[in-house]
């Protein structure tokens, strides 16, 4: 078993990054070479701006290349609860932004000619307990009447047509959702940004950021210093760099994933005949999908811990045990890859994007980042060009997380709370 992300191990290595010293002046410096930063770089470069992407490690080496491979529409929230807190107009607008985000990904795949197995498979949200289906039915009524008219209710007795497991009790199918190969998409996006004229610098951790006379910014990196008229922070849950204001508002939460060896066509069809992306209704639930070569990608929180080789391996064993509970027909199937990553979680699980003290930012995707990160990269390029109304997240308050000043010491207690909620639900 390899302790590395399947997406990165099975994608070509990005080899077009700039090797030149980092110096001089640019219109825009982008901190972070994940989906947000690369998408923004592509859009800004196409608009004629000079752009430098500053990535601390390798392109899409963190959350963008360490996720479950889903590209789903829909929110992390129950729509009814979000309507209660934000009102129907704002809640619906946020929901439709996630719809538009999947369209944005599909459009970039086509326009940039990225070979990444993008397929509109649809997503199924599965009831993990018999009592959960009634809640799904209730939420389906509001969704179908407002933002998701094509939603399909799968009744408990119909579950086996979707999932070859006795562990679920009906669900909801969101037909606009998709999946793709994250590593190949990320490398393709970086190559497209380079072709458009952006400079992409790997191993260029940002160590200093200073406002110059209210007109520009000095950006200090491990490979040199440059001056930028505008700066976009697309750092996700990164703990590197002088960005304490963001870290008080972002909780890095570990998420862990395993990938099986390739399954036979018959075995793959027995567990996921419709080949959708799948999520469950538990707070500490699972998400899974099949790849083009019939590997099952199976993920979840597993443990409320941060990612490390030791932590990833322990979490992988928990995930494998859960996978076999749901799909006993996979007994004896080898696990080829096991990895973890950090989710940039906000307290209300809504992303944030905007501007503070002359610095723009887009992050906090809270486990739904594949589509929204790409979309918000494009959106922030428009905002930085003067189209302030383009930002669907504008105006959302963003207070600090109480008691959060550094490493998230409180994660085990959060895990205990959610496990209790799952037990009593």
Strand partners, 335: 260
Please, what is the end-to-end C-alpha distance for the chain in angstroms? 35
pLDDT confidence bin for 410, thresholds 50/70/90: confident
pLDDT confidence bin for 406, thresholds 50/70/90: confident
Is residue 305 pLDDT above 80, yes or no?
no
Q: Which two tokens stand for residue 41?
A: 């770089």
Q: CB–CB of 185/176 below 8 Å?
A: no
Is residue 412 pLDDT above 80, yes or no?
no
The per-residue pLDDT of the chain, averaged, comes to 94
Higher pLDDT: 422 or 123? It is 123
Q: Which CATH class is domain 6-414?
A: alpha beta
pLDDT confidence bin for 421, thresholds 50/70/90: confident
Strands (E), 43-155: 51-54, 70-71, 123-126, 152-154
Residue 71 φ then ψ, to 5°: -135, 70
Higher pLDDT: 236 or 305? It is 236
Q: CB–CB of 249/407 below 8 Å?
A: no
- When pLDDT is averaged across residues 106-116 and rounded to a whole number, the result is 98
- When pLDDT is averaged across residues 299-327 and rounded to a whole number, the result is 86
Query: pLDDT by residue (tens digit) across 328-338?
Result: 999 999 999 99
Q: What angle do CA 63, 68, 71 make, to 5 degrees?
A: 90
Query: pLDDT by residue (tens digit) across 7-17?
Result: 999 999 998 88
Q: What pLDDT shows up at residue 299?
A: 95
Higher pLDDT: 302 or 3? It is 3
Measured distance CA(79)–CA(88) in Å, rounded: 9
Is residue 302 pLDDT above 70, yes or no?
no
Q: What is the 3-state secondary structure (H, E, C) of 1-20?
A: CECCCHHHHCCCCCCCCCCC
Is residue 190 pLDDT above 80, yes or no?
yes
Residue 225 φ then ψ, to 5°: -125, 140
For the chain, give every domain's residue range.
6-414
Q: What pLDDT shows up at residue 15?
A: 87
Higher pLDDT: 417 or 76? It is 76
* DSSP secondary structure of 175-199: TT-EE--HHHHHHHHHHHHHHHT-E
Measured distance CA(34)–CA(67) in Å, rounded: 12
Strand partners, 54: 31, 201
Is residue 231 pLDDT above 90, yes or no?
yes
Higher pLDDT: 244 or 336? It is 336
Return the residue matching tokens 């207690």. 413
- When pLDDT is averaged across residues 136-153 and rounded to a whole number, the result is 96
- When pLDDT is averaged across residues 300-320 and rounded to a whole number, the result is 82
Question: How is residue 368 annotated by DSSP?
Answer: -
Q: What angle do CA 149, 153, 154 make, to 5 degrees?
A: 150
The answer for residues whose C-beta is within 8 angstroms of residue 356's C-beta and 6 or more apart is 245
Measured distance CA(303)–CA(411) in Å, rounded: 9
Is residue 60 pLDDT above 90, yes or no?
yes
Measured distance CA(26)–CA(229) in Å, rounded: 7
Is residue 219 pLDDT above 90, yes or no?
yes
Q: What pLDDT shows up at residue 117?
A: 97
Orientation angle between helical segments 182-196 and 88-112, nearest 10 degrees: 70
Can you say whether the dihedral through the CA atoms of 264, 270, 271, 275 is positive or negative? positive
């Amino acid at each position: 078993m390899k302790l590395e992300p399947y997406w990165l191990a099975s994608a070509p290595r990005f080899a077009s990054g700039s090797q030149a010293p980092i110096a001089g002046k640019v219109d825009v410096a982008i901190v972070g070479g994940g989906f947000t930063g690369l998408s923004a770089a592509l859009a800004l470069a196409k608009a004629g701006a000079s752009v430098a992407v500053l990535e601390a490690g390798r392109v899409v080496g963190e959350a963008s290349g360490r996720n479950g491979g889903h590209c789903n529409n829909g929110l992390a929230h129950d729509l009814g609860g979000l309507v209660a807190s934000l009102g129907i107009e704002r809640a619906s607008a946020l929901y439709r932004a996630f719809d538009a985000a999947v369209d944005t990904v599909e459009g970039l795949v086509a326009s940039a000619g990225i070979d990444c197995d993008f397929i509109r498979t649809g997503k199924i949200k599965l009831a993990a307990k018999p009592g959960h289906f009634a809640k799904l039915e209730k939420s389906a009524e509001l969704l179908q009447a407002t933002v998701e008219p094509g939603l399909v209710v799968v009744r408990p007795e119909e579950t086996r047509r979707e999932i070859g497991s006795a562990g679920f009790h009906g669900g909801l199918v969101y037909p606009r959702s998709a999946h793709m190969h994250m590593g190949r998409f990320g490398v393709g996006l970086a190559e497209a940004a380079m072709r458009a004229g952006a400079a992409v610098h790997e191993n260029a951790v940002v160590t200093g950021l200073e406002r110059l006379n209210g007109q520009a910014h000095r950006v200090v990196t491990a490979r040199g210093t440059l001056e930028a008229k505008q700066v976009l922070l697309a750092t996700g849950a990164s703990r590197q760099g002088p960005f304490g204001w963001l870290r008080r508002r972002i909780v890095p939460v570990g998420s862990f994933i395993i990938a099986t060896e390739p399954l036979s066509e018959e075995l793959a069809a027995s567990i996921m005949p419709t080949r959708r992306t799948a999520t469950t209704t538990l707070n500490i639930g699972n998400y899974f999908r099949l790849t083009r070569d019939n590997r099952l990608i199976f993920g979840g929180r597993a443990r409320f811990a941060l990612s490390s080789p030791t932590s990833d391996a322990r979490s992988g064993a928990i995930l494998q045990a859960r996978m076999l509970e749901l799909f006993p027909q996979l007994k004896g199937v080898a696990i080829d890859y096991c990895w973890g990553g950090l989710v940039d979680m906000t307290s209300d699980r809504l992303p944030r994007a905007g501007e503070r003290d002359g610095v723009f930012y887009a992050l906090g995707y809270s486990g739904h980042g594949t589509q929204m990160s790409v979309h918000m990269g494009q959106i922030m390029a428009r905002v930085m060009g003067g189209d302030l109304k383009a930002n669907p997240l504008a105006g959302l308050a963003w207070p600090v997380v109480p008691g959060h000043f550094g490493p998230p010491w409180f994660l085990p207690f959060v895990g205990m709370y959610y496990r209790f909620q799952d037990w009593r639900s």
